[in-house]
Structure 1
Amino acid sequence: MPTSDSVFLLSHVTLGTLAVVVGAIALGARKGRKTHVSAGRVFAICMGLSSLLGALLGALKYETFWITCHAGILGATLVSSGVLSIRIRMRSAKQGFTAIAVVNLLNSVGLFAAGWYATSLPDTRLFGFAAEDYFFLFAMAAIALAGDIRMIFGEEISDKLRIAQHLVRMCIGFFIAAGSAFTGPGASVFPEAVQRSGLLSLPELTIILLMLFWLWKTLRQPRPLVAAQ
């Protein structure tokens, strides 16, 4: 009979895999069109649920999945703020960004502390993960926190900035999901030769390049590529 841990893990992996598939559709589709919007909604739901399950799994199985707790928290805040960024005119949007900023701040501090502590250990690894892994997630959490602060204290948030914030947050969330599936725990399902070839890093590189491309197109346009929500 499956244990609760195995159910959490299976649900986390299944939702994460679905998030990767629909995330690719949303990223590749023309922005603002029905395909992009529909795929984006499914991605946000799957990524949000997968992230929350990952955070819970990491807390319960901290000996082997602790970093998953931090990654899950980061993924959930990125998706939440990504949705809020295109609905900034909602009265509660800035209050939502404030709550998310607090979570990102605590998560950033936890990641930095974990990475710093890992550097003091003989093998520079904490719960099976290298100090660099914690510092990498810390950098992404810090970037997200800086964006939260900008959205909270910005007197005028232009449509162009809202779309840019949405794009960056969703793409980083997509990057985390793809990393988990191809270079993280999900890499174990691929043959060893494929794991060593470096091919599994290509999806993450592709996401970053596409994010930079769409960010460039968004910021150079006189009007945003996506209509205001």
Structure 2
Amino acid sequence: MTVLTISPESSPLVHAAAAAVLYLHIGAGSVGILSGAAAFVFRKGTPLHRLIGKIFVVSMLIMSGIGACVAPFLPTPERASVIAGILTFYLVLSSWMAVKRKPGQIGGFDYSLLLSSLSITGAGAYFFWLAMQNPRGMLDGQPGAAFVMFMIIGSLAAVGDLRLILKRGVTGATRLARHLWRMTVALFIAANSLFLGQPQVFPKAVQKSGLLNVPALLILALLLYWLGHVGYGASKRRRLHKSAGLQGA
């Protein structure tokens, strides 16, 4: 995110407020990325993991909320940043609710999540269509492919939200997987916004080395590992239960 467009004639208080918003966005994003990485390191379910998780949620909500609200007022409005902010906010909030709420429960909030994921998917499709109307296939300086990502993630999220509503809640491995993939994709978006979206803040040597691609690849690898781990664990438990049932028969 670049600086807000502030008139030179504006009062010092307005300029100070704009700077505060920018630094809060940057600071919250940095804390979110660090706490998200730490959440993968510490043992799941421990008090320390839960504390880090809370820090991650608060910092990411602040970062994404500011990003979504400020992006339309940048020198060059960035509609992709608006969707990215809303999507990240949605993913973090729904991920947190997946473990905060008791298993097998739903409420009006879950219907609002479904509406949000469908809206994100629709907005991504609309902006992709606008980009395709441009001879260069661009919108606000972003390629149309950027909006395809929002369509894919939004569609997957919408399917999960609909499934949760139809099944009247999720439990076990499905509940944990819902928490994991949403948190990790939110972290992936935040990391890309920093390392690939703002490469100018890093030394030239780092920019040319390709190292800025490493965080995103590492986060995706962790996502695949944990989803596989959760799925394998659930499959193993089912086999054990089935075996125990047969022996009991």
Alignment TM-score, normalising by the size of structure 2: 0.82
| Alignment partner of 1:208 out of 209, 220, 227 | 220
Query: Aligned residue for 1:117?
Result: 130
Aligned ranges 1:115-194 → 2 under 5 Å: 115-155=128-168, 157-185=170-198, 187-194=199-206
One-letter amino acid of the structure 2 residue matched with residue 188 of structure 1: Q
One-letter amino acid of the structure 1 residue matched with residue 162 of structure 2: I
Deviations 1:155-180 (A, max 9, x none): 46222110110001100111111111
Contact 2:104 2:170 in 1 (8 A): no
One-letter amino acid of the structure 1 residue matched with residue 41 of structure 2: G
Unaligned stretches of 5+ in structure 2?
1-11, 238-249
TM-fit CA distance, 1:192: 2.7
Alignment partner of 1:30 is 2:46: no
Contact 2:105 2:170 in 1 (8 A): no
RMSD (CA atoms): 2.0
Query: Aligned residue for 1:227?
Result: none
Query: Aligned residue for 1:100?
Result: 113
Unaligned stretches of 5+ in structure 1?
224-229
CA 135–93 in structure 1, closer or farther in 2 if over 3 Å, else same? same
Comparing both chains, which one has the higher relative contact order based on Cα–Cα distances under 8 Å and sequence gaps of 6 or more?
A: 1
CA 91–161 in structure 1, closer or farther in 2 if over 3 Å, else same? closer
Provide the C-alpha distance between the structure 1 equivalents of 2:96 and 2:220, rounded to a whole number of angstroms: 20
Moved more, 60-69 or 175-184: 60-69
| Alignment partner of 2:58 out of 45, 54, 71 | 45
Moved more, 64-73 or 163-172: 64-73
One-letter amino acid of the structure 2 residue matched with residue 49 of structure 1: I
Provide the C-alpha distance between the structure 2 equivalents of 1:128 and 1:3, rounded to a whole number of angstroms: 28
**Structure 2 SS opposite 1:63:** coil
Runs of 4+ in 1 over 3 A off after TM superposition: 3-7, 90-94
One-letter amino acid of the structure 1 residue matched with residue 157 of structure 2: A
**Structure 2 SS opposite 1:89:** coil
Moved more, 132-141 or 21-30: 132-141
Query: Aligned residue for 2:230?
Result: 218
TM-fit CA distance, 1:216: 1.3
TM-fit CA distance, 1:62: 7.7
Give the % identical residues: 29
CA 3–68 in structure 1, closer or farther in 2 if over 3 Å, else same? farther
Structure exhibiting the larger radius of gyration computed from Cα positions: 2
CA 194–146 in structure 1, closer or farther in 2 if over 3 Å, else same? same
One-letter amino acid of the structure 1 residue matched with residue 220 of structure 2: I
Query: Aligned residue for 2:95?
Result: 82
One-letter amino acid of the structure 1 residue matched with residue 222 of structure 2: L
